[in-house]
Amino acid sequence: THHSSRLQAKQQHAQPSQPDSPQEAQIIQAKKRKTAQDVKKGKEEISKKHQYEIREIYAPKLQEFAYVTDGACSEVDILKMELNILKLLDLCILAIDSLEFQYRILAAAALCHFTSIEVVKKASGLEWEDISECVDWMAPFVSVVKSVSPVKLKTFKKIAVEDRHSIQTHTNYLALLSEVNYVNTFRKGGQLSPVCNGGIMTPPKSTEKPSIKP
């Protein structure tokens, strides 16, 4: 029949597959390895991109920061430095004079007072000439912030340890601003000079403050 003749023709034309030569086999294996490597590399790039996207939304854990310092800074040290810088900036922006400086200049000047100009250059790309005026203006604020004891963080049973950063604390910034104005009276009189490169001015103790006559 017609159907059987077609089947016989297919069987005649069908040839058994010839085994690949050693050279061809090596080429095929190399292509397979390259394909597998490309797939793996693509997955790694997607994974890294996903991690970066997550970190843009969620800040890295404090333990990660402390770990990469290789013991140079503990978690407590990092938190203390962060809170001091943030407290300084909070106090500075209460003064109307802060509007004379860009936000990046204020942030760089605050970092300079707690670290050094070399660190500021690496972190911000700004030079000393860009921030020197703001550093000098910020000096009395630094003195007051350093002289104030840190506010103790309250504990709540329903808040987990890793979520304690969401607990808000309140500082009497108006009283601190009055202290800044007091320190400025000495600066204008030439009794205090600003110190950067990681150093700060120390205001006189409360018992040593002279009475201000009206």
Domain ranges of the chain: 24-58, 74-205
CATH architecture group of domain 74-205 = Orthogonal Bundle (1.10)
Other Cβ atoms within 10 Å of 194 Cβ, number:
18
* pLDDT value, residue 168: 72
* pLDDT value, residue 41: 77
* Contact predicate 104/112, CB 8 Å: no
Question: Digits of tens for pLDDT over the chain (214 positions)?
Answer: 545 555 555 555 445 555 556 777 777 777 777 777 777 777 777 666 655 555 566 667 778 878 877 778 888 888 888 888 988 998 899 888 899 999 999 999 999 999 889 999 998 999 999 999 999 999 888 888 888 776 676 777 777 777 776 777 777 777 888 888 877 777 765 443 344 444 444 444 445 444 444 3
Three-state DSSP state, 41 = helix
Q: Any idea what the Cα angle at residue 14 is, between residues 12 and 20, rounded to 5°?
A: 140
C-alpha 167/C-alpha 23 separation (Å) is: 68
The string of DSSP letters for 94-163 reads: TSGGGGGS-HHHHHHHHHHHHS-HHHHHHHH---HHHHHHHHHHHHHHHHHHHHSPPPPPP--TTS-GGG
Closest by CA to 117, choosing from 55, 196, 205, 50, is 196
* pLDDT value, residue 108: 94
